[in-house]
Structures are given as structure tokens and as C-alpha cells.
Amino acid sequence: MDYNKIEDAVMKNALNLFAQSAVKFFGIDKKIIAPANTEIKNIEINTNYTDYIFYADDGSYIHFEFQTTNKESDLRRFLFYDASFVYKENRKIETIVIYSSDIKDVKSELNMGSIKYSIKTFYMSSLDGDSIFENIKRKIEQGDNLDDVDILKLTFIPLMSSKIDKAQRAVNCIKAAAQIKSNENKIQCISMLFALLNKFGNDEIKKSIWEVFEMTDIGRMIFEDGIKKGREEGLKEGLKEGKIETILKLLVKKFGKIPEEYKGKLRNLPLEIIDIILIEIIDMKDIKELEKYLE
């Protein structure tokens, strides 16, 4: 079993599911439309979990961070990361930091003179993990399908308030997920659990994850699902490129020369925004009207 390939497929699957369900779970009054490009050239950020940044439907970024520590240096790191994105893309950014049950109160604002920065906080200690686990376990035993929020809840149980230690909760969640009848739900749950526990779990917890993979077909299923989604993503990328070329041709025909910076920014937009531009381009009176989509 190629663990590296499985891990890549799992992480991508987890990111897609998180995008679908996070706004409901955290009560955010926005819609996530696509994961953001997190590469920032010439800026080094020492973190391995920077992919939970998304484009929102209002043109802003939504940035999620998961924390099991409460250090002021974390807040400065979030500031550095967010400021780097604002500098690069000139978009508003909303940062939500999710704290595990060990942390109940944190400093959420920085005042550094001219620089003032704040985050939104969500405390997992406010959720009864034991009660939530029993409800979801009952659904699984009855053969019910789990919705996106159920899957996210099952994933977050190891971080919630509980009378059971974190390692045992993680094992319980993995075993429960392995019993889900729907292959799609099973893949989603295991993917999310893997992504979260790979960041927070100790060696014992990580070993339990791989044991579940080896004892079942979950590893193979996730890998094959990742390949399928990769093919679909390739087709989607080709479709996007074709639409961009159509937009460029229409702009040239309508307005003449196109600024080079417009071309570069167009190629970095998610497909959903590209589709909107294709519709709106007919009514554009000035090429500068395009800028509101490129900011």
C-alpha cells in the first residue's frame, strides 16, 4: 500500500468536504466557492497546515486555523499570514481559529500601534463530544446516511469536551467511521479524521488510523476515489482554460488590447468566478469593470 499516495488523496478529499460543511458548522454567513491558492512567493511561513483558506462568494478570503496551543506568537503568525495574503491579492480576509477543548479562553486581538488585528474564535470545549458521538453512532448503526455536518462533527469529536481521553475518542471515531454502510460517507469521514489527527494525534493515534486502513478496504477506496477526483479535476481545469480563452477573445473584440496583469489574474480565479465573468461581459461598458472580479 502506497501510504504517501493515500495520504495525498485523503488530504485533498478532506479539504473538499471541509469547504462544503464548515460554513454551516461554524455559522458563517458566507458561501465558500473554492480553495484559495496558498502559495506566497518569497515569503516563508513555518506551518504545514495552510490549506484551509478559501474564496468566499463576496470576493473575500475565509481562513481557518486549528489550535491546541494558546500562545501569543500564534496570533502574530496568523497576522503575518493574513497580511501576506492581503498584500498579495488585495482581498479582505476573515480568520476563524478553532481551539481544542483544553483551551477555553484566548487573547483574540493584537494592538501593535498602527497595526490592529483580530480573529474570531470557536471553542470546542462548548460542545459535548460524548453526546454528539452517541447520536452519530446511533445513525451509523441504523444505516442512516450522514450529512456534511454530521461528518464534520464526527471528525471534531477528539477535539470536543469529553469524559474520555483524546486517544480513545480518536480510536472510537475511526472504528465508528469504518462501520458506515455508505462508501461515500465512509471515505469522507476517514479522510477528515485522518487530516485532523495527522496534525494533532500522537504516534498511538496515527498507528490506529493505519491499522484501520490495513484491516479494511478504506485505504484502497480513498486512493481510487482520489484518482477519480483527480481525473475530474483535470477535465475541470481544461474547461476553465477554454473559458478563459473565450473571455480573452471577447475582451479583445470588445475593448481592444488587454492589460497583461488582467490575463494573469484571470488564470488564478476559480471556475465559479470565471463563469460569472462570461455572463457579465456582455453588459460591460468599460474593461475596468473587470477589476471588481480580479481584486
d(C-alpha 148, C-alpha 26), whole Å: 13
- In this prediction, residue 3 carries a pLDDT of 42
Confidence of residue 79 (pLDDT cuts 50, 70, 90): very high
Q: What is the pLDDT of residues 22-61, one digit of tens each?
A: 888 888 888 888 878 665 555 555 444 445 888 888 889 9
Q: Three-state SS for 174?
A: helix
**Percent of the chain topping pLDDT 90:** 19
Q: What is the pLDDT of residues 220-276, one digit of tens each?
A: 555 555 544 554 455 456 667 777 887 887 788 778 778 888 888 888 888 778 777
All three cell numbers of 91, joined, read: 482581498
| pLDDT of 89 strictly over 60 | yes
Confidence of residue 278 (pLDDT cuts 50, 70, 90): confident
| pLDDT of 20 strictly over 90 | no
Q: Three-state SS for 63?
A: strand
Q: How far is CA 96 from CA 1, 69, 196, in A?
A: 36, 15, 16
User: Which residue's entry shows cell 479535476?
Assistant: 233
User: Which residue's entry shows cell 513555518?
Assistant: 46
Are the beta carbons of 93 and 60 closer than 8 angstroms?
yes
Looking at per-residue pLDDT, the higher value among 133 and 32 belongs to 133
d(C-alpha 109, C-alpha 20), whole Å: 28
